[in-house]
């Protein structure tokens, strides 16, 4: 056995994550303290982080970690009965070990009068939690790694160090096709049979099957998107060909132009954005008149957008407005009567499925299959949250009943996997079956398009993300295209269940109520996605991540992204877009149509010259130009209609910033 020699050791290093048994209602993360060591032996040099409390486990001859929650270990002993031991320990999932030659990048941030921290990313896209060096030692660790690795400081970010090495092109694994990435829900269904005649696709899928579980988790986690039906074809099977064609067609524009339009928007200099503490119960009550009406609805939505709500108790009241259970104009008395009416409606629908006998169910395959799917999904919904922990949990029964009743309420859509994820926080906040149901109905009114079998809405949103990224950061968009990732499939899970698994429970509830205000625009979640992606640009590009590594890296960001800076970044992008949309010549029409669909002002415009109307087309070219913008626009300025003197069609090319000018062609 190889003998380890310690090159570096530092204790009192901690990471922030959530232990499975932790009560997550306060949204805080646990500090998991441990020791970092760098060791060397004849197999190489290795990084290891060992959380405090599991040191004894490493003395076994071998150990099998069971889902990061427990360990089955073996120690050579004369007493065979004592050889195998089972040790439950939630800290095991935080034990980290890798060969330092697999490192792709290191980020070290030294905070003045604070705690330095480091983030390690591997060549396969794995990104570990941030390590905080409570007693120092990060600089020594970086210097040591620099002795064995060729570290180069990033020109874009002086905190990021890239591991440089020459990798023969032929040794690089071929990126999986975009088609294969989405074909991850069930490789045993008819979709696989239908494409088996294609050698290239069959070969890719056969290779891909080796990592099926990883990519399923990358897109959806434990829950596949499946809707039950009478036949196996009811499994959601994305129309891949149409999906890919639509992405390419969305950016094709005609060039019968009389003008050349060049856009210039510097998205690297974001305006300052102000956010506030959460709305308090006292503030909420002050915004109601003597009859209980909300005095100024727009002002209230703006306030919620700026800071969210302070507690679940307040959420249980305000979410009913945000999710259209209560009308914003209703009085307190009207809401009492409405609640009584909705309660009667709910239990009438619940009685419909509760009163079905087994013979009736046997004659209704669709109902029976949906019920079976709900039964399976409910028992694995947020079981690490204290609200759903334990055997025979009554809250799980309520979750089941609400989903079954929604199946009766909207039988055309029924139940689709992922809905349980959306209902869970609502039930935790409401702690009332009827209120949770009607709020869930309101949420599904907003999101049910995500669960349609043709996936047209998700497809459209992914296309919109790609279009926005081309305009906001064409360099990153082109990099993704070169690495077979312009399909933006790594956003799929984010869009499907609205970031439910990407943030802590408290942050998810905060983000949801921010998005439900529809302020400052209905598609604000697209800018949230882009803000996350752009924040990872340097790591992705300078680490030279390919398709698989990008997908894994983005998936590994779960619970590692700070929400407040993210919201500021997303709003800063919106402000620049709106500010430029109000200027001349405005935004390209496809960008304006995504961000300002209600205005619809860029799709068709007429020119009024010499007393008559005429239409002319224009072409847009976006070129690489470094730009600096000055003052931040005011996001609250009311949009004033403007007369535009041309109709534009555009083609988007790569750039760092988008440039705007008009030139009349002869």
Same-domain check for residues 12 and 160: yes
Q: 23 with 135, same domain?
A: yes
pLDDT surpassing 80 at residue 346: yes
Same domain, 443 and 464: no
Inside any domain, residue 403: yes
User: Higher pLDDT residue, 533 or 251?
Assistant: 533
Reply yes or no on whether the pLDDT at 571 is more than 70.
Answer: yes
**Confidence check: pLDDT of 582 > 70:** yes
| Mean per-residue pLDDT over the chain, rounded | 76
Q: Which of 417, 432, 450 lies at the terminal end of a domain, its last residue?
A: 450
pLDDT category at 77 given cuts 50, 70, 90 is low
C-alpha Rg value of the chain to the nearest Å: 27
H/E element, 304: helix 297-307
Q: Is the predicted pLDDT of residue 607 greater than 70, yes or no?
A: no
Q: How confident is the model at residue 483 (pLDDT cuts 50, 70, 90)?
A: very high
590 in any annotated domain: yes
Same domain assignment for residues 444 and 463: no
- Residue at 624 is within a domain: no
Domain boundary among the residues 414, 429, 450 is at: 450
Give Cβ neighbours of residue 184 (< 8 Å, ≥ 6 apart): 212, 215, 216, 219
Q: 470 and 489 share a domain?
A: yes
The half-sphere exposure of 59 on its side-chain side, counting CA atoms within 13 A, is 6
Query: Rounded to the nearest 10 degrees, what angle do helices 240-249 and 456-472 cross at?
Result: 30
**Assigned domain for 638 exists:** no
Residue that the structure tokens 């949906």 belong to: 370
430 within some domain: yes
The pLDDT of residue 413: 94
Single out the residue in 140, 164, 188 at which a domain terminates.
164
How far is Cα 504 from Cα 201, in angstroms, rounded to an integer? 38
**Residues 430, 484: one domain?**
no
Query: How crowded is residue 213: how many other Cβ atoms within 10 Å of its Cβ?
Result: 10
DSSP state of 300: H
pLDDT at 89: 63
Q: What is the pLDDT of residue 29?
A: 63
Task: Identify whether residues 446 and 490 lie together within a single domain.
Answer: no
Q: What pLDDT is stored for residue 110 in this prediction?
A: 76
Domain co-membership, 440 together with 553: no
CB-based contacts of 80: which residues, under 8 Å, 6+ apart? none
Q: Are residues 416 and 517 in the same domain?
A: no
In angstroms, the CA 35 to CA 50 distance is 5
Instruction: Report the CATH number that the domain containing residue 526 is assigned in CATH.
Output: 1.10.472.80
Strand partners, 107: 119, 160
Residue 608 falls within a domain, yes or no? no
Residue carrying structure tokens 């990048």 = 105
Instruction: Domain of residue 153: give its range.
Output: 5-53+92-164
Distance of CA 490 to the CA centre of its chain: 8
Same domain, 385 and 526: no
Same domain, 34 and 144: yes
Region 434-459 average pLDDT: 94
CATH number, domain of 442, equals: 1.10.8.270
What is the count of structural domains for the chain? 3
Lowest mean pLDDT, pick from 236-240, 342-346, 444-448: 236-240
- Whether the CB-CB separation of 584 and 563 falls below 8 Å is answered with no
Count of CA atoms in the C-beta half-sphere (13 A) of 16: 18
pLDDT band of residue 280 (cuts 50, 70, 90) is: very high
601 alpha-carbon distance from chain centroid: 30
> For residue 214, what are its two tokens?
């990883």
Q: Please state, in angstroms and rounded to a whole number, the distance separating the CA atoms of residues 121 and 44.
A: 18
pLDDT digits (tens, 9 = 90+) for 394-421: 999 999 999 999 999 999 999 999 999 9
3-state helix, strand, coil in the chain (%, to 5): 45, 15, 40
Quick check: is 285 in a domain? no
In-domain check, residue 377: yes
CATH of the domain at 118: 2.30.29.230
Alpha-carbon distances of 216 from 169, 222, 463, rounded to whole Å: 28, 8, 21
Helices (H), 489-597: 492-496, 505-516, 524-535, 537-542, 547-555, 563-581, 589-595
Task: Tokens 């499939």: give the residue.
Answer: 489
CB 430 within 8 A of CB 398: no
**Distance, CA of 243 to CA of 190 (rounded, Å):** 18
Rounded Cα gap, residues 461 and 594, in angstroms: 9
Express each pLDDT in 243-262 by its tens digit: 444 444 443 333 333 334 45
**pLDDT band with cut points at 50, 70 and 90 for residue 391:** confident
Kindly report, residue by residue over 40-73, the tens digit of the pLDDT: 998 899 999 999 877 544 444 444 544 444 444 4
Q: Are residue 511 and residue 598 in the same domain, yes or no?
A: yes
């Amino acid at each position: 056995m190889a003998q380890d020699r310690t090159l570096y050791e530092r204790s009192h290093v901690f990471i922030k994550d959530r232990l499975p048994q932790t009560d997550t209602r306060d949204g805080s993360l646990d500090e998991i303290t441990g020791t970092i060591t760098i060791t060397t032996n004849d197999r190489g040099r290795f990084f290891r982080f060992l959380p405090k409390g599991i040191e004894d486990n490493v003395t076994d001859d071998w150990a099998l970690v069971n889902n990061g929650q427990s360990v089955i270990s073996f120690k050579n002993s004369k007493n065979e009965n004592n050889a195998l031991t089972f040790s439950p320990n939630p800290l095991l999932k935080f034990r980290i070990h890798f060969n330092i030659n697999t490192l792709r990048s290191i980020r070290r941030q030294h905070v003045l009068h604070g705690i330095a921290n480091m983030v390690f990313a591997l060549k396969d896209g794995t990104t570990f939690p941030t390590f905080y060096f409570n007693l120092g030692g990060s600089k020594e660790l970086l210097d040591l790694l620099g002795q064995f690795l060729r570290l180069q400081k990033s020109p874009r970010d002086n905190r990021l160090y890239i591991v440089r090495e020459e990798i023969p092109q032929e040794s690089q694994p071929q990126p999986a096709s975009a088609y294969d990435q989405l074909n991850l829900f069930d490789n045993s269904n008819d979709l696989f049979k239908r494409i088996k005649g294609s050698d290239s696709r069959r070969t890719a899928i056969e290779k891909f099957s080796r990592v099926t579980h990883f990519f399923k988790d990358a897109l959806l986690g434990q829950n596949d998107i499946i809707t039950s039906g009478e036949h196996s074809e009811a499994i959601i099977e994305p129309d891949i060909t149409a999906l890919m064609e639509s992405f390419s067609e969305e950016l094709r524009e005609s060039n019968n132009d009389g003008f050349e339009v060049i856009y210039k928007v510097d998205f690297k200099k974001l305006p300052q954005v102000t956010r506030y503490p959460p709305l308090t119960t006292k503030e909420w009550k002050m915004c109601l008149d003597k009859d209980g009406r909300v005095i100024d609805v727009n002002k209230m939505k703006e306030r919620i957008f700026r800071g969210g709500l302070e507690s679940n108790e307040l959420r249980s009241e305000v979410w009913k407005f945000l999710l259209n259970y209560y009308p914003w104009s209703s009085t307190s008395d009207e809401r009492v009567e409405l609640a009584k009416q909705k309660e009667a409606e709910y239990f009438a629908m619940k009685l419909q499925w509760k009163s079905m006998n087994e013979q009736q169910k046997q004659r209704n395959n669709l109902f029976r299959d949906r019920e079976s799917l709900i039964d399976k999904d409910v028992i694995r919904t947020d079981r690490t949250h204290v609200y759903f922990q334990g055997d025979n949990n009554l809250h799980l029964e309520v979750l089941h009943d609400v989903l079954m009743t929604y199946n009766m309420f909207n039988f055309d859509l029924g139940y689709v996997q992922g809905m349980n994820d959306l209902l869970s926080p609502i039930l935790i906040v409401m702690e009332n079956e009827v209120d949770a149901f009607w709020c869930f109905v309101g949420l599904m009114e907003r999101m049910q398009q995500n669960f349609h079998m043709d996936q047209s809405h998700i497809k459209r949103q992914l296309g919109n993300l790609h279009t926005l990224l081309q305009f906001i950061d064409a360099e990153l968009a082109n990099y993704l295209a070169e690495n077979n990732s312009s399909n933006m499939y790594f956003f799929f899970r984010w869009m499907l269940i609205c970031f439910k698994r990407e943030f802590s429970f408290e942050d998810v509830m905060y983000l949801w109520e921010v998005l439900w205000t529809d302020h400052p625009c209905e598609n604000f979640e697209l800018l949230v996605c882009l803000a996350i992606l752009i924040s990872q640009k340097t790591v992705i590009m300078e680490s030279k991540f390919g398709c698989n590594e990008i997908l894994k890296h983005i998936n590994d960001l779960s619970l590692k992204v700070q929400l407040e800076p993210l919201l500021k970044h997303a709003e800063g992008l919106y402000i620049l877009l709106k500010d430029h949309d109000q200027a001349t010549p405005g935004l390209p029409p496809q960008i304006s149509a995504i961000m300002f669909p209600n205005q619809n002002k860029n799709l068709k415009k007429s020119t009024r010259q010499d007393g008559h109307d005429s239409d002319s087309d224009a072409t847009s070219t976006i070129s690489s130009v470094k730009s600096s913008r000055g003052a931040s626009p005011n996001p609250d300025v009311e949009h004033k209609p403007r007369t535009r003197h041309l109709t534009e069609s555009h083609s988007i090319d790569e750039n760092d910033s988008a440039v705007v000018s008009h030139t009349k062609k002869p």
